[in-house]
Structure 1
Amino acid sequence: MAHKNIFPCIFFSILFCVSFTVAQGARTFNIKSYGAIADGRIDNRKAFLRAWMDACDQKEVSIVYIPKGVYMLGSVEFAGPCRGVTMFFMKGDLRAPRGAFLNVETWLGFRYVDNLIMKGGGTLDGQGQSAWPFNQCHKNNNCQTLPISVKFDFVTNSRIKSIRSIHSKNAHFSFFGCTNINISNVELLAPDYSPNTDGIKMGSSSNIRISYSKISTGDDCIAILSDTSNIDISNVYCGPGHGISIGSLGKYTNEKNVNGVSVRKCTLNGTDNDSLSCSNSRCYVQEYIWNFEF
Structure 2
Amino acid sequence: MALLNQKTLTKPISFNGIGLHSGKSVKLTVNPSEPDTGIVFKRIDLKNNNLIYPNFSNVTNTSLNTTISNESGVKVSTIEHLMGALFSLGIDNAIIEIDNEEVPILDGSAKEFIDKILKTDLKVSSNPIRIIKINKKVEFKEGNKIVSIEPSKLSLDIDFELKYENPIIGNQKNKINVYTDNLQNILNSRTFCLYEDIELIKKNGLAKGGSLDNAVVVKGDQILNENGLRNSKEFVNHKILDCIGDLYTSGYKIIGNVKCYQGGHYMTNQLLRKTFSNKENFSIIEVQEKHLPHTFLNRNLLKSIA
TM-score range, shorter chain: under 0.3
Higher strand fraction (1 or 2): 1
TM-score (norm 2): 0.24
TM-score (norm 1): 0.24
Higher helix fraction (1 or 2): 2
Greater length-normalized contact order (CA 8 Å, ≥ 6 residues apart): 2
